[in-house]
């Protein structure tokens, strides 16, 4: 799937998120990487083999709501 040189990390690699973006849909909250990984806004992932990776990074401060 990936045609970059050097090749991007594969979907089963721990640094799979370092692959290039091939589609970015922030309004829908997901991005597609060239290794076939679907990356969600909350850092969850869906791998090409159907495996689901739970969100694993804390959200940035821009998502934090301060209650008045
Ligand atoms: Zn690539």
Q: Give the pLDDT score at 39.
A: 95
Residue ranges with CB less than 5 Å from ion ligand 1: 2, 4, 8, 20, 34
- For residue 64, being part of any structural domain is answered with no
pTM recorded for the entire structure: 0.79
- For residue 59, being part of any structural domain is answered with no
Ligand 1 centroid distance, CA of 64 (Å) = 32
| Residue-number span of the structural domain to which 25 is assigned | 1-11+20-52
- For residue 68, being part of any structural domain is answered with no
How far apart, in whole angstroms, are the C-alpha atoms of residue 33 and residue 55?
Answer: 16
- For residue 5, being part of any structural domain is answered with yes
- ∠ CA 62-54-63, nearest 5°, is 10
Ligand 1 centroid distance, CA of 3 (Å) = 6
Q: Give the pLDDT score at 56.
A: 81
- For residue 37, being part of any structural domain is answered with yes
If one counts the domains in the chain, the total is: 1
Whether the pLDDT of residue 66 is over 70: the answer is: no
Q: What is the pLDDT of residues 16-63, one digit of tens each?
A: 999 999 999 999 999 999 999 999 999 999 999 999 999 987 765 555
């Amino acid at each position: 799937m990936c045609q970059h040189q050097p090749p991007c990390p594969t979907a089963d690699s721990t640094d799979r998120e370092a692959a290039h973006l091939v589609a970015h849909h922030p309004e829908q909250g997901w991005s597609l990487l060239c290794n076939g990984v679907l990356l969600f806004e909350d850092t969850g992932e869906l791998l090409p083999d159907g495996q689901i990776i739970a969100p694993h990074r804390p959200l940035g401060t821009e998502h934090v709501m301060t209650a008045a």
